[in-house]
Amino acid sequence: MRKAKLILVGKRTPALETAQSMGVGVILIEIGKKSKVHSRFSDTIIEHMAMGDSSRESDWIALAQRLEGNNISAVLAMSEKSVLPSAWLRHHLGLRGNSIKNAELCTDKLYMKQAAREAQILTTDFWHADTNLTQTPIEALGLPIFVKKRVGSGSRDTYQIKEEKALLKNPSADELAEAFIEGVEFSMEAIVYEGKTLFVNFTQYSEPQWENIVPAPIDDALQTATYEMHSRAIKAFGIRNGITHMEVFDTAKGLVFGEIAARPPGGHITELIELAYNFNIWKAWFELEIYGKTQIINALPKEFAAVRILHPGKGVFLGADTKEAEQHPNFVRCKIKTTPNTTLKARLSVGEEVGYVVVKAKTYEETQQSLQEIYPKITLHMS
């Protein structure tokens, strides 16, 4: 008999593995197509369904009505696109957690930036078609500027304008233009419960979109400033529970807020956290949502861990050779996710990868050096 039940909106294998180890039953809901799930989870997944690409709250109301009486402990968003649907489902099931309004603030970049400004959190300047009727984006922001979709994560729908002739038309109402930020980007991950921050990690984007290192080697003053910004942000956006992922920039003008997400980070950061802190962030989150308490809080890093995303570019992927890399003493794992003879397109988003390699070591310098030594020893065969 399963001790508890969770609804996971979106598939994350480490989350399923953690639920299985805890004896927790899962109702797995995917947005888009229903993907394959390994048979080893057959005793964990109670029901597995797909909602297509529906963005209508009415569809989630109908689902909530069907799921009533299942003794669900919580509805948890696994990805950016599942944050708002999770809030709809949570609301109509009468479960506690982040509200629909909070979800909208955390997924719509225009609302997010406006709320941050109201809370006196420093952000870069931005332009939107409905709020700036007298100036073009270039007149308001200068050059260069970044244009991105208001809703969504990753870099697929983000583009940079470096010269005036490149802006053929103003961004549409579902886009947001932002001024370029001159600074070093990094992130802070946290577990929040009842409005209190119980765990904190800082991640270095050692090569943005390709390499991450945990924990980031930043000084105490910057850690404190980031923590304080996160505290103001979760209050401004009404984030009461869950894992957060906040991206910030260290600039000459001070710390500048980028975005905050009310869901676990991508980029294999949760895996790096587990290696560096000897701490399963998924388990802590699930325990808080089910039981209201966890033993795994205020963890301090014990080692450093790093990841390198693998993607060879456009062409036909034939396979990979990792044997030489595996001989390195600080090698942890290399996972190749793409099957041989797969035709690849150019990498357009941070979520696109053939696989990844993970290393860990006792110091930051050794971790960084190990990644530089191991990565070149992985051969991705192409034709």
pLDDT in tens, 255-290: 999 999 999 999 999 999 999 999 999 999 999 999
Span 34-57, average pLDDT: 93
* Strand 45-50 to 24-30 pairing: parallel
> How many CB atoms neighbour CB 276 within 10 A?
23
Question: CB within 8 A of 319, min separation 6: which ones?
Answer: 336, 340, 381
Instruction: Name which of 5, 59, 3, 66 is nearest 31 in CA terms.
Output: 59
Look at residue 3 in the predicted model and tell me its pLDDT. Answer: 66
We find that the CATH architecture of domain 4-95 is: 3-Layer(aba) Sandwich (3.40)
161-203: pLDDT as tens digits: 999 988 888 999 999 999 999 999 999 999 999 999 999 999 9
Q: Is the pLDDT of residue 154 over 80?
A: no
Look at residue 152 in the predicted model and tell me its pLDDT. Answer: 86
Q: Is the pLDDT of residue 16 over 80?
A: yes
Q: How confident is the model at residue 2 (pLDDT cuts 50, 70, 90)?
A: low
287-341: pLDDT as tens digits: 999 999 998 776 899 999 999 999 999 999 999 999 999 999 999 999 999 999 9
Look at residue 214 in the predicted model and tell me its pLDDT. Answer: 98
Sheet order of strands, 126-127 included:
126-127, 175-179, 145-149, 159-161
Look at residue 133 in the predicted model and tell me its pLDDT. Answer: 83
Q: Is the peptide bond before 144 cis (omega within 30 degrees of 0)?
A: yes
Place domain 103-119+182-291 in its CATH homologous superfamily.
Answer: ATP-grasp fold, B domain (3.30.470.20)
Q: What's the DSSP call for residue 160?
A: E
Model pTM? 0.95
Span 82-91, average pLDDT: 97
333-365: pLDDT as tens digits: 999 999 999 999 999 888 899 999 999 999 999
- The per-residue pLDDT of the chain, averaged, comes to 95
Q: What percent of the chain has pLDDT over 90?
A: 91
Look at residue 168 in the predicted model and tell me its pLDDT. Answer: 80
CA angle 144, 266, 18 (to 5 degrees): 170
We find that the CATH architecture of domain 304-382 is: 2-Layer Sandwich (3.30)
Question: 163 φ, ψ to 5°?
Answer: -140, 155
53 compared with 29, residue with greater pLDDT: 29
CA angle 29, 35, 41 (to 5 degrees): 75
